[in-house]
Structure 1
Amino acid sequence: MQRICVIGGSRYFGKLLVERLQSAGHQVTVINRGSSRPPEGIEHLVADRDDETALLAALGSRTFDVVVDQVCYTPVQAAIAARVFAGRAHRYVMTSTIEVYDPATAALPAVSPGTPVPEMSVDPATWRVALDLPWHDEAYLGAHYAEGKRQAEAVLTRAGGFAFASVRSAHVLGGGAEEFTGRLAHYTERIRRGEEITVHEKALPSVFIHYAELADLLLWAAADSSFTGPLNACSDGLLDVRDLAAAVADQVGREPVYRVVTEGATASPFSFDRHYAMSNTRAKSMHFAFSRTSDWLPGAVAEALTASAVHPA
């Protein structure tokens, strides 16, 4: 049994992670702002992670073997966490994102077109940090999500008060009504109603992961592994927007209607005009076994269709 603190953990794969940590016999503490209570038997601390004084007060004298940070989006939040948990946690795992590799948001090292990128394509130890940017502004943060994650990783990498690891998640699908982003529902609803799906002329593939598989990997990263540094998390197999639409069409019984957008225009979720698939070789070298996207995608689509039937748009 380990003492594990989860910051966030109130919805989607974070909620599932908390449940699986508890089922595995760990002593779990959840910190959030009180909008959602964790399951019975899990300690719940109510605090705003952006308020350092309140966070310290809520924690009291508690210490942890591992902290799993599900909701760290900015270097300012990371700096607060680094100060608060230095000497209070042996290991700190941050949930990060494939977006750190998005070539549309940063100048990254060149790789061959179509090559899945390894973790060190974005090295947090060398990434520039700017704490004085308006990270508190929601509009700014929304427009700089990927950079916020890059800089948050950089701050925690350099903190030195604990062993640090980041899990860079691929695009997450599955979970039916739990999938709060609505990206898969966009396809199920539009194809079911015969509405257009907007796509790029040369839509390129990316990588994905099922929400339960991501919860499993975070459980492994927190409780059963000691790696440090960034780790890519994605199922095997590339998927592009037309593959996704075809998987929906197979179950809806209706062909997708596409409209091609001009270069640079906004398209449907997961229609990409740039390639930034990740390599999961590092996790595999540590014996984490990934599923294939093609194996779980039909089930994820079926869950989304069921959820939309119960809660129609």
Structure 2
Amino acid sequence: MRVLVLGGTRFIGRRITEELVSRGDEVCVVHRGRTAPAIPVRQLHVDRRDLATAASRIRDFAPDAVVDTLAMTRADAEVLPHLPDVPLVVLSSMDVYRAYERLLAGRGGIPVPIAEDSPLREERYPHRGAASPDGYDIDMDSYDKLDVEPLYLARGGTVLRLGVVYGERDPQAREEFVLRRVRAGRGRIPVGPANLLWSRVHVDDVAQVVLAALDNPAARGEIFNICESTTVTIGDWMRQILDAAGHQAELVEVADVPPDLVLTGAPAQHLLFSNDKARRVLGWEPADPAVAVARSVRWHLAHPPADSDPDFSTDDRALGGPACAPSD
């Protein structure tokens, strides 16, 4: 199979490209040239906004399928007229659901687990004013997957709504709120009730389900929730991270948590999603979360971010004093 990948050089796109090549597919990665693919593949250096200028080169490649990893705004979807009429997979997000809107507003009311036909957000552009994730140059004021999904579905595309994606090379370093305390030898971590349920998914599982969607005609024009089959609370996830790091630390419930631990509060709305449809239709099964978390933690411990925050004064104030690791 010849697959055209829009954005295939970092994190999720990188893993999708690697998995496609590993199984023998011929891949052409469309990107701006700022980050090179990790493995030898055909490349097309063009901004997606200028994809029309590369139409003849896309026709020459003659893709059998297209994977769009970076359709974030309505403007991003303007590439559709320049793509061939072949199976199309686009990555979306669980933030399209009304439950996400309720969580941000401190309100509940949406039953869980959340399926593909659960209510969608009533408000638009949930991340206006936010900074773009490092290296992605996303217009967060215009970001909304609800502007993107209908246009891809109208083309018969497959929409994959992803849970919180973590894993090796994650630029957002999802585990860092714990690992920075591990590196500093902190023995007590101030948390709230830490009972939030928020479905996650390892990047390798995302890559595998993209391949499954490309191969299965039943995926055309369908929406799938992509997440792990079991979800632990934020507190238990923190304990998984600590265990994987081989670090002993006590989670201490406090009244006022530090800003980077706000997710350990007591939410009015959980974000627990069902992956039943993806498992049933696509025959996809995600890996054991405990194993996946351990792999991710090992990688991020070996590759700490350059800008890790060394200040734990808010921890100390919350705990009433310094919190060093217990001696062995």
Smaller-chain TM-score bracket:
0.7 to 0.9
1:75 aligns with 2:74: yes
Q: Deviations over 1:113-168 (max 9, x none)?
A: 552111122579xx9999xxx99x969943664xx11220022223x3xx210111
Q: Is the 8 A contact 1:75 1:129 kept in 2?
A: no
1:28 Cα deviation from its structure 2 partner: 0.8
Structure 1 residue matching 2:161: 3-state secondary structure: strand
Structure 1 residue matching 2:296: 3-state secondary structure: helix
Q: Which residue of 2 aligns with 1:172?
A: 165
Give the TM-score, by structure 1 length. Answer: 0.79
Q: Which residue of 2 aligns with 1:150?
A: 146
1:187 Cα deviation from its structure 2 partner: 1.2
Alpha-carbon distance in structure 2 between the residues aligned to 1:226 and 1:293? 27
1:266-277 correspondence to structure 2 within 5 Å: 268=261, 270-271=263-264, 273=267, 274-277=269-272
Q: Deviations over 1:219-256 (max 9, x none)?
A: 22223554132111111211222112212333212224
Identity level (%): 21
Q: Which residue of 2 aligns with 1:303?
A: 299
Structure 2 residue matching 1:249: 3-state secondary structure: helix
1:214-225 correspondence to structure 2 within 5 Å: 214-224=206-216
Q: Which residue of 2 aligns with 1:284?
A: 279
**Greater Cα radius of gyration, structure 1 or 2:** 2
1:202-213 correspondence to structure 2 within 5 Å: 203-213=195-205
- Residues 258 and 229 from structure 1, CA distance in 2 versus in 1: closer, same or farther, beyond 3 angstroms? same
1:182 aligns with 2:181: no
Q: Which amino acid aligns with 2:117?
A: M
2:114 to 108, 114, 117: 117
Alpha-carbon distance in structure 2 between the residues aligned to 1:57 and 1:271? 51
Which consecutive residues of structure 2, in runs of 5 or more, have no partner in the other structure? Answer: 309-328
Q: Which residue of 1 aligns with 2:3?
A: 4
Structure 2 residue matching 1:68: 3-state secondary structure: strand
1:88-103 correspondence to structure 2 within 5 Å: 88-101=84-97, 103=99
Alpha-carbon distance in structure 1 between the residues aligned to 2:16 and 2:150? 24
- Residues 198 and 9 from structure 1, CA distance in 2 versus in 1: closer, same or farther, beyond 3 angstroms? farther
Alpha-carbon distance in structure 1 between the residues aligned to 2:9 and 2:222? 25
Please report the RMSD computed on the Cα atoms of aligned residues, expressed in angstroms: 3.5
Q: Is the 8 A contact 1:201 1:260 kept in 2?
A: no
Q: Is the 8 A contact 2:191 2:251 kept in 1?
A: no
Which consecutive residues of structure 1, in runs of 5 or more, have no partner in the other structure? Answer: none
Alpha-carbon distance in structure 2 between the residues aligned to 1:179 and 1:173? 6
Q: Deviations over 1:194-241 (max 9, x none)?
A: 288565546421111111111111122223554132111111211222
Alpha-carbon distance in structure 2 between the residues aligned to 1:198 and 1:144? 35
Question: Please, which moves more after superposition, 213-222 or 28-37?
Answer: 213-222
Q: Is the 8 A contact 1:4 1:68 kept in 2?
A: yes
1:46 Cα deviation from its structure 2 partner: 0.5
Structure 1 residue matching 2:92: 3-state secondary structure: strand
Question: What is the aligned residue count?
Answer: 291
Give the TM-score, by structure 2 length. Answer: 0.76
2:230 to 215, 227, 237: 237
Q: Which residue of 2 aligns with 1:20?
A: 19
